[in-house]
Amino acid sequence: MQQTDQVCPSCVAGKMSVFYRVEDVPVHSCLLVATEQDAKEFPRKDIALGFCDACGFVSNVIFDSSAHNYSPGYEDQQSFSGTFNAFARSLAGRYIERYGLNDKTILEIGCSKGDFLILMCELGRNRGIGIDPSCVPGRVQSEIADDVTFINEHYSEAHSKYQADFICCRHTLEHIPNTAEFVSTVRKSIPGGRSTVVSFELPDVSRVLKELAFWDIYYEHCSYFSLGSLARLFRHCGFEVSALFKEYDDQYLLIDAMPANGRAGERFKVEDDLASLKDAVHFFSMNHEKKMADWRTFIQEQSRAGRKIAIWGSGSKCVAFLTTLKMEDAVDCIVDINPHRHGKYIPGVAKQIRSPESLKKYHPDVVIAMNPIYKSEIQTMLDEMNVSAELTAV
């Protein structure tokens, strides 16, 4: 690893050491474009992942936030999957029961199109405030729509005027470079005396490292956490951690916290992960190239045998998978269940996104699922369409 002079933006103490580099990747994965030419000319930058051996935080040390344009055209809605919806509904129900969230105010930072916020409001008859520059009011239809306010802005100190009983932030912190500053802003928004619960959800970097999942490293994600490094960040920023666990086949980290107000709070055994994180970083740095080579070989062998490959899932994993391998032209068919993606082009990959039904005419020999948790759901859809392809997953 190559040590840098950059101070860790999470603990603001350790120095970052680079252990992984990838060049010339699209700066956005989910900001879709209308033409193939625009997709080919989409801006690209490099990634240099650094590791802080003081707190375990992983970050792209050459990240440039000015390259991003989060707007209503940013399409990351996941609620067209029954598998994902079942998870979201279960999670919302647990929050409502655990924290008595009935007739309360829920604020979601990075609410995307509003699916989860509206679900929380429906199940608990709550009021909602969603803050996200990519939100599209009215996209998600609901009988409680009048009780939910959407604000097309990036979250900032200015939004502390919106007080809530529960603040959630799902899959947003990984897009934030100055993590301690961001979480401190959330903490400062809660006045003294309030017992507001804060819940964050984001990907688990320890899984990415141990599984050599290079497709889960892309430009939009500049910040990567484990359970331990996430808890350390929240404690550093003045929170007491009340729950710390993994969900969704251990792909996601979840943390519940409240203002510490002088309390030390319980420390969880899973926080003691710094040594295992160092080992995982070393393992990834030594073995990721072999993993990439294996996938290149697999795709090349399928092509030489005249077998057609389709990728199921056109989002960030797909973009990272193909652009990191430099095999943007190796796969002709990419499908997605999100109808708002159909007909659009993928940044950098420059392939038009098709509907799953298109596979009935394409007749793929192999379908690569970009997340193994969806294999059962995808296989059911393939069977219903009479598409007899070999289904594998990254």
- For the chain, give every domain's residue range: 2-62, 82-276, 299-393
pTM: 0.95
Superfamily of chain region 299-393: NAD(P)-binding Rossmann-like Domain (3.40.50.720)
Distance, CA of 66 to CA of 177 (rounded, Å):
11
Q: Across all residues in the chain, what is the average pLDDT?
A: 96
With H, G, I as helix, E, B as strand and everything else as coil, classify residue 199: strand
Distance, CA of 270 to CA of 124 (rounded, Å):
31
Place of tokens 């652009």: 323
At 262 the pLDDT is 78
Same fold, 82-276 and 299-393: yes
- Kindly report the CATH class assigned to 82-276: alpha beta
**φ/ψ (deg, to 5) at 214:** -60, -25
Q: CA 8 → CA 19, 57, 212, 281, distances in Å? A: 15, 8, 23, 16
Distance, CA of 389 to CA of 394 (rounded, Å):
16
Report whether pLDDT(73) > 90: no
At 265 the pLDDT is 78
At 394 the pLDDT is 97
The arithmetic mean of pLDDT across residues 253-271, rounded, is: 90
The arithmetic mean of pLDDT across residues 334-360, rounded, is: 97
Quote the tokens at residue 236: 């550093």
* Per-residue pLDDT reduced to its tens digit, 207-242: 999 999 999 999 999 999 999 999 999 999 999 999
At 184 the pLDDT is 97
Out of 1-15, 171-185, 363-377, least confident range: 1-15
* Per-residue pLDDT reduced to its tens digit, 239-260: 999 999 999 999 999 999 999 9
The arithmetic mean of pLDDT across residues 310-314, rounded, is: 98
Distance, CA of 295 to CA of 321 (rounded, Å):
9
Strand boundaries in 181-238, DSSP class E: 197-203, 223-224
| CA-based end-to-end distance of the chain | 26
